[in-house]
Structure 1
């Protein structure tokens, strides 16, 4: 329908193909928004999607065209919003949440545009209208949160002009309306906590959001705080009330006043029984409460820091006393069985330890606190029995992150009192190791883990000191001796095995002073406890750890040590021969690895040059040509082939930039080597190199490309056709990435004006390639590949579409691909707009090249064969013929 005709806003009354186009026209129209405004003000439509769209049209008008509206039109928007709100007060059922949220956004946008100029009574008008009607209050609260997002939210980037405007709005609100808003919140909180807990929770969220920039005295007073505290005891409200109190505590203010506020709040919470953590069974609430306590504790620490720096000794002492009074509660929450509750208090714990770190001497009570925190951290580091080591999921990942937080605490404990920490760990470690045969894996693992963590936590004088003098041996040295001589390496649990080997490698300097333990530890690495362990996870990690250089087996004597072990071992001669042969292969691998590093170093030196000219100016062209001559034979090396090929490829990429056309003589030989015995990953990495050469040198490399094109394509086909296990996700992903690279390569050739490369491959080869492009566009559930394929098809139609000998392929294969691809069950609708756009552009290009003949084919043959109605067929053809349209859009 035209915009001048009577407007219908129901999608069901518009043809499916043009419904979205029509709605977009409404958005862009200068005056059609008024129809939407009337529909909202009068409640004409019951369809939720139509109502939502009407708000979208208004939103677009306010956001982008507000300055161009006449005063009467601006007044119409204000009246529309208030009339719509009035309708909500009379409805028995509220609108859907998504409509209320969109309405709130439009209210907020209008507020931002007009509060300082045309609508200073915005809030008074809103409050006088909604009163205490629950539907109206809901919209009012949602509007306040939307205003917070527009005006206050620091995560949203604003222009300097918007920042200035937002500052003026907040200043004006503080002066004129905030006390009235706070009073409305108080009334809402008191009125609805029993009948509408969801509205009460919304209001608590509003208070928490606004408290950061309004006068705190309006909220932090007996009347308001007592109301919030009473809601801490209401099951449906307590979590949101906790969050609200957290935001109040988090408010920036004078340190002395902050201490008084937190202390008064704590006294009330304690007297109400909230500090009795053990009696509370609701872990979700305790997680929020723990966050609140964390906020209170961190606020007190910040106050103490400011007061101490300012030399205010008496007030600082009061803040410190307040901090330490919270330590018993901190410990209850830190040691709680639920890790979320514990994790939420870590920040306060860390900050408290940071305070203690600044004191030269600790009081007895402070030492007791430190020891209690140490024990809590050690307990919480322990795995649960439910931890799934074989199939680690989200819960396991969360525990690993939580352990990292606990490690921060352990490091800070070491800074506060390294002696206390060493003593505590030593006590736990020795007690566990003495009874390791009967202890649970969790106890044994955490005992070794604590020893491992000491390596980073303790200062160098403790953590790195292993002495050859038996009179000076450290506690760490004693624990290491106990670890390697206890038999713990044979404990039958993967977590313990891994922790044992990690710790042995962490403290490899221990073996310099007590080398007598090397044989036993070496055997643990080599036998069923390490490299031959039943767990692949243990085997792979041990293999990595065993390959690391260490002071007891240095790079220089790695091979001699292995030779001695082979010669003096008890294996028969045949076995020794095989071992020596494998050792030689290892030496070859080491040399290949060295060569790979050399190529990498050469690549990195070239990064100083930006182009051929800069290389010539420094007289380095010959140096890099010599490097190319030296490195290319490495591509045929059978050892470390993957890393060598990767290194040489990277070097060639750099040389294309640094040597430009001087690199071309080396390319054919390099390509020949890289296409031999290649895997999916090799090809996937080789294709960008060829694409870079194609895009940069174009006609200069045309003969070479014509020669290498089919060998490369056939190598790709051969890899893609190799059978793979159904559940081999890695192989499937490699093939998908290779397929994408292949299609991108074809796109590079067609878009670089190199169509003669394809044209000179022979009819049979051209058809084979074209069919793969059609297959990629239709059959593979990969939107990235599909989009690339349609770009290629569109380009090929542009290049060859006018030729009569191509019409058969276009009509029999390309046209069906454009229509059938979106109909596939595997078609990704989340990415449909981009892929559909390429389909449409391809159809437009066919029409551009074939003209009326194409339209006739669609009307008389193809679309009727799909049983498309004449009306839709006619509509599709009309859209294709429109010069300003991209083609058929998404249809329902």
Structure 2
């Protein structure tokens, strides 16, 4: 039978066997695991004098494990007391044979040692301390040799692996356990503490003394340190934290092979939860400042571990300082230790490797949080803390600089993205410094900014740092998390900002030609648009920069597209000050107003045209910003009416011609359909800019947009089966209504009819919102009620049909139906609020009102969505009142 099991396991694990045979072997192995006596066969197979392959041994122990776990869960049918004795004897026999001092066989592979340790641990949970009180003594005996304790390396290493496995099973807080398992583990830990813990602690100390410097002892010493580091979380810390014990571990910090493990162990010891007074006593006893200052930090991995240790020490000291009631001598000692350790933490913050720097982020954060709390309590900064705060800020500034080995890749490089993530976290720390001491922040940031703007030989990274810090500074005047003088900024802060912005606009940093510097410049002038309200003479200079190769004509796509948006923001914020620059601006950016939609080459389904399915993803939306910008520029008061009309035609007429051409060529062609979509979107966005300019709309301007509305309707009539055309038409008409007013109303019924005929479920929400907007815009207009009267029946029929369709269980469909119900109830609310509720009771809608009432009751009573319930309860009585009046 054992040979049969071995063969089945080998076949099940082999990649080169017939699938049917492999499946047969796997079924056999599963049945063996599930059988009540399978563990007996596998235990015998594991114990065999002819040592089986590691894979077969591993499987055999898995089957034994399953039986032990079942017994642990309370199932006594699989293993009775006699069976447990047999398993214990068998395991001990195997271990003495393979791991005893006289063993001459090849050492088991590491994964097999770990598996054996896990099996023994399961048995330990069933037997200690009641039926196997000598567990630890028995294994220590195996770890001895010729009367010398702890001299058998093979047995000793297995013993340490068992201890690690035991911790995982009874004390690892990351593992979720049942209440019964938790109680059982608690009793076992209590028994260990009472009967064996002092002995084990002494054993670990002896192992470190014997094996740290012995040839081949590295693995034993390393595992012993891991055991101490894991067990220390739940044992009496006084067993480990003694002068003798700690001197041994500190001594290992000088052992190049083991110092990382020793550092991890010290970190675990420091992480031990204890009273603040005990923690302070521990940190003081260990004399970390002196020890850490003597460590050779020439290895990246070890340096990172030391940084982690320093971080833990600082966090604990800061927690102690944050305690409200501690004796003054405790506070003084804690402050003294923190003043010694924080400079070490700050040195790690300055480390060139971000992983090392990140290790002390929590300590830096806690230190700054402590200072902010004390500032709120009006506790002044001591000179020492002032020095530390200054050191933190200067270190942060250095870390914010692009590394010499790193270039800018506009978010396409992983290492740069990691740096930017670190930078964003450091920026938060810098804001905290500003909130603690505004003067430190202002003086140091302004020095960095001014140095970057100074003439002479400049490295782009230094200039970029200065501009980044200028952005951080200006954000600080508005950000509630930064400067304490929120919103407005102190007079000093505002004065310094204005001075720096003057120096920025007067500098020649753009001559460096680096795209990131150019982008920072554009971001800064937009972010600080209020500065230009008091310095309007600088606006033409900035606009020249915007329309140059630095901005909207940049050779870098990322910069160019971002510049289109920033140009729009700059114009929007300062439109009242830009004057009559419309013709110059249109001449400067006119070449960018050419629309060319592109379908991605991988789109094989030509009938599936998506609004964002362009090859130059993101650039079309960016280009729309330019259309809105020029619409605003030519519609400010300073532009004469005649010039506005001329420029308006220069923008719209090429779009009209392009629509006409594309409609001729469309015939289902995705490229042409998408081109029409883009043209319509450009018209709508341009119209929004015209409105935003603030200039009164003249009749000639309205005529141009009437032409635009007809061009859109023709496009919709031709391509109404395409969702993107329907979407763009809704968008454009909504933005032309404020320009055309009642003049566009005759087009509305035609538009709505075309939109509704092809409207799918996903569009219903937007369609109802659009109709609601129209009914509000034309509130009181005599044709509005007639329009709604003819629309409601087909619209509500479409809504009821969409909501009657079965949901296939997909989340997307459920969300869509919920959204339709909300939009439907909101639409009815809008009708009632706009005085159009009577249309529900019109002669054409006699039967409709009853259906609406029933639907409101049904949707609000069957939906679990709170918004739907609230809307339904609000609408229902008002509809009932309309019904009564009708009757």
Band of TM-score, shorter chain: 0.5 to 0.7
Partners of 2:655 and 2:507 lie apart in 1 by 32
Whether 1:110 aligns to 2:123 is: yes
Distance 1:424 1:125, change over 3 A: same
What whole-Å deviation, never above 9, does each CA across 1:52-99 have from its counterpart, x for those lacking one?
111111111111245321101111222232223223311443211221
1:336 aligned partner: 351
Partners of 1:256 and 1:55 lie apart in 2 by 47
1:720 aligned partner: none
Distance 1:177 1:461, change over 3 A: closer
Quick check: 1:41–1:84 contact (8 Å CA) kept in 2? yes
What whole-Å deviation, never above 9, does each CA across 1:840-861 have from its counterpart, x for those lacking one?
xxxxxxxxxxxxxxxxxxxxxx
Shift in Å, 1:312: 2.4
Shift in Å, 1:28: 0.7
Whether 1:22 aligns to 2:22 is: no
* Matching residue within 527, 532, 537 for 1:506: 527
Tell me the secondary structure at the aligned position of residue 18 of structure 1: helix
* Matching residue within 130, 150, 171 for 2:143: 130
* Matching residue within 32, 51, 61 for 1:55: 61
Partners of 1:333 and 1:538 lie apart in 2 by 35
Partners of 1:130 and 1:692 lie apart in 2 by 67
2:365 aligned partner: 350
Quick check: 2:314–2:342 contact (8 Å CA) kept in 1? no
1:82 aligned partner: 92
2:40 aligned partner: 34
Quick check: 2:552–2:561 contact (8 Å CA) kept in 1? yes
1:94 aligned partner: 107
Shift in Å, 1:372: 1.8
Partners of 1:376 and 1:49 lie apart in 2 by 54
2:221 aligned partner: 200
TM-score by length of 1: 0.63
Shift in Å, 1:641: 8.1
Partners of 1:153 and 1:338 lie apart in 2 by 31
Q: Which structure has the higher relative contact order (CA within 8 Å, separation 6+)? A: 1
* Matching residue within 1, 11, 29 for 2:9: 11
For the aligned residues, what is the CA RMSD?
4.3
Distance 1:218 1:528, change over 3 A: same
Q: Give the alignment of 1:620-635 within 5 angstroms.
A: 635=723
Distance 1:388 1:22, change over 3 A: farther
Whether 1:444 aligns to 2:463 is: yes
Shift in Å, 1:484: 3.0
Tell me the secondary structure at the aligned position of residue 322 of structure 2: helix
1:650 aligned partner: 762
Distance 1:169 1:639, change over 3 A: same
Whether 1:280 aligns to 2:297 is: yes
Shift in Å, 1:572: 14
Partners of 1:113 and 1:643 lie apart in 2 by 72
What whole-Å deviation, never above 9, does each CA across 1:295-322 have from its counterpart, x for those lacking one?
111111112222xx01523311221122
1:387 aligned partner: 406
Return the index of the structure with the highest Cα Rg.
2
Shift in Å, 1:665: 6.1
Partners of 2:564 and 2:219 lie apart in 1 by 57
Partners of 2:246 and 2:473 lie apart in 1 by 45
Shift in Å, 1:481: 2.5
Tell me the secondary structure at the aligned position of residue 446 of structure 1: helix
Q: Give the alignment of 1:600-615 within 5 angstroms.
A: none
Quick check: 2:365–2:429 contact (8 Å CA) kept in 1? yes
Name the stretch that deviates more: 420-429 or 312-321: 312-321
Tell me the secondary structure at the aligned position of residue 552 of structure 1: helix
2:717 aligned partner: none
1:589 aligned partner: 681
1:563 aligned partner: 634
Q: Give the alignment of 1:528-547 within 5 angstroms.
A: 528-547=549-568
Whether 1:71 aligns to 2:81 is: yes
Whether 1:465 aligns to 2:488 is: yes
Partners of 1:7 and 1:24 lie apart in 2 by 11
Partners of 1:218 and 1:443 lie apart in 2 by 53
Distance 1:654 1:424, change over 3 A: closer
Distance 1:226 1:288, change over 3 A: same
Partners of 2:438 and 2:43 lie apart in 1 by 71
Shift in Å, 1:494: 2.8
2:254 aligned partner: 233
Q: Give the alignment of 1:397-412 within 5 angstroms.
A: 397-412=417-432
Quick check: 2:315–2:362 contact (8 Å CA) kept in 1? yes
Partners of 2:36 and 2:329 lie apart in 1 by 68
Partners of 1:692 and 1:310 lie apart in 2 by 57
Shift in Å, 1:261: 1.9
